């Protein structure tokens, strides 16, 4: 005869196993109520994902938004198409050249509120440290470069801008930087396909600024230029250029009101062959708008000649 205790234990075990099976087969509705889960419908090939990642804002991404076209003829180009000399677009009372010199020199010395007369430039194009001293024979040691040259801008869409928009482009701090004069002369109006700064470590920032300017003013790039920019962006960390953020979103250029030039004296007429003649006449320095002022006398293009 079997042990009654063993029979009772076997019966209890069978009842427990039967209860587990019953729980596993419980009503799905009951289970969902206890542990609510929101079902996610399967996406189809024709449906976009529920969340679209925000676009990155690297220079490479911005470059891809620029049209690629051939370079237009240079017909009709002159520096005057972008305004006669430096203006004062931010209306701070100082022309753009002096603003950029002051921005790019940590130790600028001024004569008055605007005119930078000396300082130190750390040239990113060459890696040189340049001592700037204003003067007829020394000012050209430091020049203000248009990272997108005005001639290049003219041939890649600026012909279609209004005159005020072109003046804004020529005076936009985003496109300007104080650099070594002779090196800037070597660049001339070259784009990224024909000229890059000798200092390779600056390539990333250099072409990033070019892309920003072209996007801001609705300009295009040529295919060789785009290829060169892509290669230069490969020197950036991550290979796509710095995060340019929202500050470079394409925007309509701001209307520029040039600073009024001093009115010439009534009936006065003058003509000077050179600065020696200006000084001999006691007219030095001579300012834009003064009788006898010409851009050929103003070698550094700051609106004041024969300092």
- Structure confidence at residue 243 as a pLDDT band (50, 70, 90): low
Contact between 218 and 224 (Cβ < 8 Å): no
The pTM assigned to this predicted structure is 0.64
Six-digit token string for 128: 């040189």
- Cα separation of 70 and 223, whole Å? 8
Q: What are phi and psi of 193, to 5 degrees?
A: -75, -20
* Alpha helix stretches (DSSP H) within the chain: 4-24, 28-34, 59-63, 96-104, 150-155, 163-170, 181-187, 203-216, 223-233, 275-280
Please compute the mean of the pLDDT values over residues 90-98 and round it to a whole number: 96
Strand order in the sheet with 129-133: 109-111, 115-122, 129-133
For 183-213, the pLDDT digits (tens) are: 999 999 999 999 999 999 999 999 999 999 9
- Cα separation of 160 and 154, whole Å? 8
Task: Examine the pLDDT at 55 and tell me if it is beyond 70.
Answer: no
Contact between 280 and 99 (Cβ < 8 Å): no
Distances (CA, A) of 67 to 86, 211, 225: 29, 11, 12
Task: Name the CA radius of gyration of the chain, rounded.
Answer: 34
CA atoms within 13 A of residue 263's CA, in its CB half-sphere: 3
For 118-136, the pLDDT digits (tens) are: 999 999 999 999 999 999 9
Six-digit token string for 82: 């972008």
User: Which residues pair with residue 121 across a beta bridge?
Assistant: 130
Angle (CA) 173-178-183 rounded to 5° is 130
For 259-283, the pLDDT digits (tens) are: 444 444 444 457 777 777 777 776 7
């Amino acid at each position: 005869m079997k042990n009654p205790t063993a029979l009772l234990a076997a019966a209890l075990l069978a009842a427990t196993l039967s209860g587990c099976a019953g729980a596993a087969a419980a009503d799905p509705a009951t289970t969902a109520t206890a542990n609510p889960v929101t079902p996610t419908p399967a996406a189809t090939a024709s449906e976009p994902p529920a969340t679209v990642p925000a676009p990155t804002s690297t220079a490479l991404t911005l470059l891809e938004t620029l049209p690629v076209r051939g370079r237009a003829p240079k017909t009709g180009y002159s520096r005057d198409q972008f305004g006669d000399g430096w203006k004062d677009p931010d209306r701070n009372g100082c022309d753009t050249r002096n603003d950029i010199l002051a921005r790019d020199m940590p130790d600028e010395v001024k004569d008055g509120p605007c005119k930078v007369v000396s300082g130190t430039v750390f040239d990113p194009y060459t890696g040189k440290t340049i001592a700037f001293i204003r003067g007829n024979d020394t000012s050209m040691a430091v020049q203000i470069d248009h990272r997108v040259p005005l001639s290049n801008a003219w041939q890649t869409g600026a012909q279609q801008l209004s005159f005020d928009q072109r003046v804004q482009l020529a005076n936009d701090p985003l496109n300007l930087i104080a650099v070594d004069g002779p090196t800037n002369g070597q660049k001339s109006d070259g784009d990224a396909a024909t000229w890059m700064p000798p200092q390779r470590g600056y390539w990333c920032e250099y072409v990033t600024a070019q892309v920003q300017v072209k996007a801001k003013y609705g300009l295009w790039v040529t295919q060789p230029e785009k290829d060169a920019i892509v290669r230069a962006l490969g020197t950036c960390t991550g290979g796509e250029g710095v995060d340019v953020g929202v500050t470079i979103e394409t925007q309509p250029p701001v209307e520029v009101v040039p600073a009024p030039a001093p009115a010439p004296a009534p009936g006065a007429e003058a003509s000077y062959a050179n600065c020696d003649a200006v000084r001999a006449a006691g007219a030095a320095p001579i300012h834009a708008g003064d009788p006898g002022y010409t851009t050929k006398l103003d070698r550094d293009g700051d609106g004041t000649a024969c300092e």
